[in-house]
Amino acid sequence: MASEKALDFLRRRLCDSSFVYSAFKSTPAGNYSKLKFLISNTITEACNNSVLLLGPRGCGKGAVVDMILEELKGEFPEIISVVRLNGLLHSDDNFAVKEIARQLCMEHKLLFSKMASSDDNSQFMIDMLRECGLAHKMIIFVLDEFDLFTQGKQRLLYSLLDAMQTLTSQSVVIGISFRLDADQLLEKRVRSRFSHRKLLFTPLSTEDMQSFDVKPKNILGDKKFKEILDVLSSVDNTISNICRFLYHAISWMHFESGLLTLDGFKNALSCMQRQPMLDKLQDASILEFYILVCMNRLGSREQNSFNFNSIMKEYKAIQDAYKTSDNYSWSVCLRAFEHLIERELISFLDNRMRSLSIEYRPVRLLLSSQELYQGLKSNAFCPAILLKLLNHESYR
């Protein structure tokens, strides 16, 4: 059937990142053009460079890097080597250097020794940078979740950027992070070796969202459809989220006519609004909501890390300011804190600190402000003061 072919075509398009993110290529002064020029110029000029790609998750930072590297490998065959690290997997300096050595050995068809020490792997990385530079070959390091590499003593970043200071090396370091202050997390000795180039990726506007033209024009002009886009963008207007929405929408395509309908988009929005985090919040206690709001407030002040004790300081400040009846003991708060960890609403920032007592270990909030706001609004017993505090009302 023609409708089945159309459905298959749309699904393939939405699953093809090169198509989804192709709009980046059409803007001459956009991030795609800037990053490609920077890497191309580094190759032709035989120099070193570093850059940070910053912006919310799902805005296309990684996809843009993938598209550019794919094109440059075609333009400069047998010149580019790519090493990819992820802070979620390789934030440990020793393991990261070992992974760099493994990927470089695989790329250049060399024998990799699993028994090599960290110092041996570090020296191998430096030697490879020198040898590739002398052979006019480029090594590109892509560090995803870049902010996680800044934890600890930052030996990996220092060793890498310091090795790039030599005249013989020829490489680029591309850091990818959702944190806009990622460069401020660098130690002074590391920051002095970084080029301070930053490219900011922003979510789509409602007008940009309407440019994903897989819908009939009469739906685009419908007021109710625009309301659907407004609701969608208020929660998450990143490209990846828009693609998920469209994928849901085409699943509701009318097979007899082969057209997408307004009802289909409404059903897709309903599917998107079923968020697992909101389900976890349904049975949360008032005290647990207080802890989550305190964490959100601490995060909004751009505190790099906080633990149970700092959360309790924020909680006590709220109780002192508003004299609410929701004043619980330290031990009761600790049990609520542990319960939130069990339900995966918050998590420890670094598993390497397991030897520390739980109240001293840094944690992070796994909820967005919007998800927490929706969870508070949907709870019939939620104190009104929590909604005000979530909007960052200052103490009296």
24-200: what fold?
Answer: Rossmann fold (3.40.50)
The rounded distance, in Å, linking the Cα atoms of 200 and 319 is 39
CA nearest to 292, candidates 273, 272, 308:
308
Q: Where are the domains of the chain?
A: 24-200, 206-274, 279-393
The rounded distance, in Å, linking the Cα atoms of 207 and 193 is 40
Give the tokens for residue 302: 């751009």
Q: What is the pLDDT of residue 3?
A: 66
Q: What is the pLDDT of residue 1?
A: 59
Along the chain (396 residues), what's the average pLDDT of each consecutive run of 10 residues? 71 75 76 93 90 90 92 89 92 91 91 89 90 89 93 88 82 93 91 89 69 52 76 75 81 71 80 75 91 91 81 93 89 95 90 83 88 87 88 55
Model pTM score = 0.62
Give the tokens for residue 356: 């520390």
Give the tokens for residue 61: 């930072």
pLDDT tens string 14-23: 777 777 777 7
Q: What is the pLDDT of residue 206?
A: 61
The rounded distance, in Å, linking the Cα atoms of 87 and 202 is 22
Q: Helices (DSSP H) in the chain: which residue ranges?
A: 2-15, 17-20, 31-45, 61-75, 87-90, 93-107, 118-134, 155-163, 188-191, 206-210, 217-220, 223-235, 239-251, 262-272, 276-281, 286-300, 308-322, 330-342, 369-378, 384-390
Calculated CA dihedral for residues 345, 346, 348, 349, nearest 10 degrees: 120
Q: What are phi and psi of 355, to 5 degrees?
A: -70, -20
Q: What is the pLDDT of residue 215?
A: 43
Q: What is the pLDDT of residue 84?
A: 95
Give the tokens for residue 85: 């690290």
Q: What is the pLDDT of residue 209?
A: 59
337-366 residues labelled b (16+ CB within 10 A) or e (exposed): bebbbeeebbebbbeeeeeeeeeebbbebb
Name the CATH code of domain 279-393 (choices 3.40.225.10, 1.10.10.10, 3.90.420.10, 3.40.50.720): 1.10.10.10
Q: What is the pLDDT of residue 395?
A: 43
